[in-house]
Structure 1
Amino acid sequence: MFSIASLWIPFTIVAALGQVARNAMQRQLTGPLGTWGATNIRFLFGFPFSIVFFAVVIFASGDAVPTLGLVFWPWLLLGALSQILATGLMLAAMNDRSFVVTTAYLKTEAIQTAIFGFVFLGDHLTTLKVVAILIATVGVVVTALRPGAEKGFVSLKPTLLGLFAAAAFALSAVGFRGAIIVVPGVSFVTAASFTLVLALGVQTLVLTIYLLARAPQVLRGILRLWKPSMLAGFVGAFSSQFWFLAFALTAAANVRTLALVEVLFAQAVSYYSFKQPLSARELFGILLIVIGVAMLVAV
Structure 2
Amino acid sequence: MELWIPITIAAAFCQNLRSALQKHLQGSLGTRGASFVRFGYGFPLAVIYVLVLHFGVGYALPSPDLEFVFWVVLGGLAQIFATMLLVYLFSLRNFAVGTAYSKTEPVQAAIFGFIILGDKLTTGGIVAIIVGVIGVMMISMANLPLSWRNLGTAMVGRIALIGMASGGLFAIASISFRSASLSLNGPNSIMQAAVTLTCVTIFQTVFMLIWMLWKDKREIVQVVRTWRSSALVGLAGVVGSACWFTAMTLQQVAYVKALGQIELIFTFASSYFLFHERLNRMELWGCLLIVCGILGLLMS
Fold in common (TM above 0.5)? yes
Unaligned 5+ residue runs, structure 2? none
Residues 122 and 181 (structure 1), Cα distance of their counterparts in 2 relative to 1, 3 Å cut: farther
Q: Which whole-Å CA distance do the structure 1 matches of 2:4 and 2:209 have between them?
A: 32
Cα displacement (A) at 1:234: 0.9
Residues 191 and 88 (structure 1), Cα distance of their counterparts in 2 relative to 1, 3 Å cut: same
Q: Which of the numbers 8, 13, 16 marks the counterpart of 2:12? A: 16
1:156-171 to structure 2, matched below 5 A, reads 160-171=161-172
Alignment partner, residue 68 of structure 1: 64
Cα displacement (A) at 1:129: 7.6
Q: Which whole-Å CA distance do the structure 2 matches of 1:195 and 1:124 have between them?
A: 30
Conserved? CA contact 2:31–2:84, under 8 Å: no
Cα displacement (A) at 1:141: 6.5
1:24-173 to structure 2, matched below 5 A, reads 24-90=20-86, 98-99=92-93, 106-116=102-112, 142=138, 146-148=142-144, 150=150, 152-153=153-154, 155=156, 160-173=161-174
Q: Which whole-Å CA distance do the structure 1 matches of 2:84 and 2:287 have between them?
A: 28
Indicate the SS of the match to 1:212: helix
Indicate the SS of the match to 1:260: helix
Number of aligned residues: 293
Alignment partner, residue 234 of structure 1: 235
Moved more, 221-230 or 172-181: 221-230
1:175-254 to structure 2, matched below 5 A, reads 175-254=176-255
In structure 2, give the amino acid aligned to 1:188. S
Indicate the SS of the match to 2:175: helix
Residues 248 and 294 (structure 1), Cα distance of their counterparts in 2 relative to 1, 3 Å cut: same
Unaligned 5+ residue runs, structure 1? none
Moved more, 123-132 or 227-236: 123-132
Deviations along 1:210-232, one digit per CA (max 9) or x if unpaired, are: 00111111111111222221122
Cα displacement (A) at 1:128: 6.7
**Percent of residue pairs bearing the same amino acid type:** 37
TM-score under structure 2 length normalisation: 0.80
TM-score under structure 1 length normalisation: 0.80
Cα displacement (A) at 1:133: 7.3
Conserved? CA contact 2:258–2:295, under 8 Å: no
CA RMSD of aligned residues (A): 3.6
Cα displacement (A) at 1:122: 10
Cα displacement (A) at 1:119: 8.3
